[in-house]
Amino acid sequence: MRRISAIFILLILTFVSVHAENQHNEWLDSANQAYTNGDYTQAIDHYEMILEHGYESAALYYNLGNAYYKQNIIDKAILNYERALLLKPNDEDIKYNLEMANRLTVDRIEKLPEFFLDVWFRNSINWFSSNQWAIISISAFVLALIFISIYLYTRKYGIKKLSFWLGLALVLVTIFSLIFSYQQKKKIIIKDTAIVMSPSVTVKSSPDLSGTDLFVIHEGTKVWLQDEVGEWKEIKLSDGSKGWLRTDDIEEI
């Protein structure tokens, strides 16, 4: 009897969750429709509602960013494009629109030249999202085991040699994709970048209102978070300059 009731409850829960998912998809559809009709305010409302319920996807953030862009709220547009890019790091459309939005920001910050291996490594990580890398690592692992088996059981010399090298390569793929998957996950979980949301922020030399004013940055600028003291965060710009600003002036990606 207990088992039956447990199954029953489980069924109800599944039904409810399926129902909720349908509800979210309906919101998403109506938001997309509103966007198409040019009613960006309503589109924003619905997209935000889905996010409030704890659901997300790259397309959702991207669409929300588009709606904010159309409403000329550039800082939020950039924030959402960046979030979309975290979930889907190699999407052409997201990159293009982020670039468009970045052109409308006030601050032009020179980027520091980077070591080519760093860039290469980061670009490789960004080929896929965390989940995609995880799936790749599992598939590569399974394939590697299959090739190892072939290596062990075959008596033919050529096949044995081939499967040995393939298996070895796949083990490497497994390890690297695991590392990449972890890196991508870390980027999302450990929030180390943020977007300036206040129209104009004075960056101080110390986490204190009396600190020397170092420079002024404006809304839409991306900053890297370095340290935190109470209400204050230490940030770094892409040109390498560092300083402190208040937590309310920025929003983490």
Please give the residue ranges that form the binding site for other proteins (CB under 8 A). 21, 24-25, 28, 32, 35-36, 50, 54-60, 62-63, 66-67, 69-70, 93, 96-97, 100-101, 130-131, 133-135, 138, 141-142, 145, 148-149, 152-153, 178, 181-182, 185, 188-189
148, 167 Cβ separation under 8 angstroms = yes
CB of 55 to other proteins, least distance (A): 4
For residue 50, the minimal CB distance to other proteins (Å) is 7
Bridge partners (DSSP) listed for residue 218 = 200
Of the pair 160, 236, the CB lying nearest other proteins is at 160
The smaller minimum CB distance to other proteins, of residues 97 and 249, is found at 97
Distance of closest approach, residue 227 Cβ to other proteins, in angstroms: 23
Classify residue 2 as exposed, middle or buried by CB count within 10 Å of its CB (0-12, 13-18, 19+).
exposed
Q: How far is the CB of 101 from other proteins (least distance, A)?
A: 7
Considering beta carbons, is residue 9 or 100 the nearer one to other proteins? Answer: 100
Kindly report the number of other CB atoms within 10 A of residue 60's CB atom: 23
Residue closer to other proteins by CB (options 100, 216) is 100
How far apart are CB 208 and other proteins at their closest, in Å?
A: 33
Instruction: Select 94 or 194, whichever has its Cβ closest to other proteins.
Output: 94
Least Å distance, CB 18 to other proteins, is 13
Radius of gyration of the chain measured on its C-alpha atoms: 24
How far from chain centre, in Å, is Cα 60?
Answer: 12
Q: Are strands 242-246 and 250-252 parallel, antiparallel or unpaired?
A: unpaired
Residue of 142, 151, 131, 132 whose CA lies nearest to 171? 142
DSSP string computed for 98-134: HHHHHHTSS---PPPP--HHHHHHHHHHTTS-HHHHH
Name the residue nearer to other proteins (CB basis): 138 or 214. Answer: 138
